[in-house]
């Protein structure tokens, strides 16, 4: 299982423990979907999300899975429904909609009908991720992310669904999606906009740079900055504190203090899917997957050969 959960003293603790670094693909998504019903149980008064991986909280979306999804399906209207169901684990009705997308693209003489259908398949996956993340965001209980190490991309987006981020000094936050020709797709931009000023949001998104926990604390993204290895302990203590308050009042306070930017979330999904159809994305994902490194855009021992564009290269073309 890519995660485990335990309820103790009215605090639900979700521990991410999957893949190389808690990549969010179908297995993690299914596991997170399993957590959603727990958020409204009467014996759950707060939630802490943490990771047991030494490397950090989460490296983000499972790009190997995304790459496979974008390259393995061919333009076959007859087989698309079955294929899409298998590939993206979508309900049959949604899979039918995907086949319909492909047929419409063919009718409209879209030069890339299969690409349109593949993008739809990812959209179905994104819809599921958003349902889970929205449920976390809107949970009627205080939610706390205990972060250390890498908190990138989709992992950062998961942390942003929580009410409070407690981070130790090893934590680093980043949205590296532009390196892949993409923007964040799990709600990162609207939720970051909600929490921070737009100038720093633009800097982080457009540069793809990572921000240390200390800087994130100065910016107001990290609420509580703690010593190395103490994020979970501090988060658990905070969660326990919130269970002392009236549940209804907590829910009212949260709803009032933390509106969900639904319109912007929908727009982000649309933009993401539009970008996904571009060849530059598949090419960037291919380089990422073939590099074999969890994060090949970070400093590394060996430079890419001059004759072969490396993942650090710009993906604008």
* Interaction between residue 299 and another protein (CB under 8 A): yes
Q: 133 vs 297, which CB is nearer to another protein?
A: 297
CA 58 to CA 6: how far, in whole Å? 20
* Interaction between residue 86 and another protein (CB under 8 A): no
CA 272 to CA 276: how far, in whole Å? 6
Closest distance to another protein from the beta carbon of 51 (Å): 14
Q: Sign (positive/negative) of CA torsion 50, 203, 137, 247?
A: positive
CA 294 to CA 192: how far, in whole Å? 24
74: annotated active-site residue:
no
CA 255 to CA 271: how far, in whole Å? 27
State the CB neighbour count (10 A cutoff) for residue 309: 15
Sheet holding 164-168, edge to edge: 3-8, 11-16, 46-51, 143-147, 164-168, 224-226
Using CB under 8 A, which of the segments 31-39, 115-123, 242-250, 298-306 binds another protein?
Answer: 298-306
Using CB under 8 A, which of the segments 34-42, 184-192, 263-271, 290-298 binds another protein?
Answer: 290-298
* Interaction between residue 200 and another protein (CB under 8 A): no
CA 168 to CA 64: how far, in whole Å? 29
* Interaction between residue 312 and another protein (CB under 8 A): yes
CA 38 to CA 44: how far, in whole Å? 7
* Interaction between residue 31 and another protein (CB under 8 A): no
Q: Sign (positive/negative) of CA torsion 273, 18, 286, 65?
A: negative
User: Looking at 10, 23, 157, 268, which residue is catalytic?
Assistant: 157
Q: 102 vs 204, which CB is nearer to another protein?
A: 204
* Interaction between residue 215 and another protein (CB under 8 A): yes
* Interaction between residue 297 and another protein (CB under 8 A): yes
Q: Which of 171, 162, 170, 168 is nearest to 224 (CA)?
A: 168
Closest distance to another protein from the beta carbon of 298 (Å): 4
User: Looking at 10, 23, 65, 177, which residue is catalytic?
Assistant: 177
Q: Exactly one of 150, 160, 182, 222 binds another protein (CB under 8 A); which one?
A: 150
Q: 86 vs 214, which CB is nearer to another protein?
A: 214
**DSSP type of residue 304:** P
CA 242 to CA 227: how far, in whole Å? 22
Q: 149 vs 184, which CB is nearer to another protein?
A: 149
Q: 27 vs 55, which CB is nearer to another protein?
A: 55
274: annotated active-site residue:
no
* Interaction between residue 174 and another protein (CB under 8 A): yes
Residues annotated as catalytic are 157, 177
Residues that bind another protein (CB under 8 A): 55, 149-150, 169-170, 172, 174, 207-215, 293-301, 303, 312
């Amino acid at each position: 299982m890519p995660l485990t959960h335990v309820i103790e003293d009215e605090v639900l603790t979700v521990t991410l423990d999957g893949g190389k670094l808690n990549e969010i693909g179908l297995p993690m998504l299914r596991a997170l979907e399993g957590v959603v019903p727990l958020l409204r149980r009467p014996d759950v008064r707060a939630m802490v999300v943490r990771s047991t991986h030494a490397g950090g909280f989460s490296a983000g979306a499972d790009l190997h899975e995304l790459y496979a999804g974008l390259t393995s399906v061919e333009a076959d209207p007859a087989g698309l429904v079955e294929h899409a169901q298998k590939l993206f684990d979508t309900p049959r009705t949604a899979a039918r909609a995907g086949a319909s997308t492909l047929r419409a693209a063919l009718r409209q003489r879209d030069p890339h009908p299969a690409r349109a259908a593949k993008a739809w398949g990812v959209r179905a996956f994104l819809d599921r991720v958003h349902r889970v993340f929205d449920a976390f965001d809107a949970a009627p209980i205080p939610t706390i992310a205990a972060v250390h190490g890498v908190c990138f991309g989709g992992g950062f987006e998961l942390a942003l669904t929580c009410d409070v981020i407690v981070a130790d000094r090893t934590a680093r936050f980043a949205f590296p999606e532009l390196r892949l020709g993409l923007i964040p797709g799990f709600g990162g931009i609207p939720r970051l906009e909600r929490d921070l000023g737009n100038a720093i949001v633009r800097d982080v998104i457009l540069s793809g740079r990572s921000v240390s926990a200390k800087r994130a604390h100065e910016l107001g993204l990290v609420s509580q900055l703690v010593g190395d290895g103490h994020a979970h302990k501090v988060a658990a203590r905070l969660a326990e504190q919130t269970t002392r308050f009236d549940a209804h009042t907590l829910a009212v306070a949260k709803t009032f203090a933390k509106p969900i930017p639904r319109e912007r979330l929908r727009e982000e999904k649309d933009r993401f899917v539009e970008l996904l159809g571009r060849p530059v994305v598949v090419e960037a994902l291919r380089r990422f997957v073939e590099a074999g490194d969890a994060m090949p855009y970070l400093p590394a021992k060996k430079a890419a050969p001059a004759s072969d564009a490396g993942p650090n290269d710009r993906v604008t073309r």
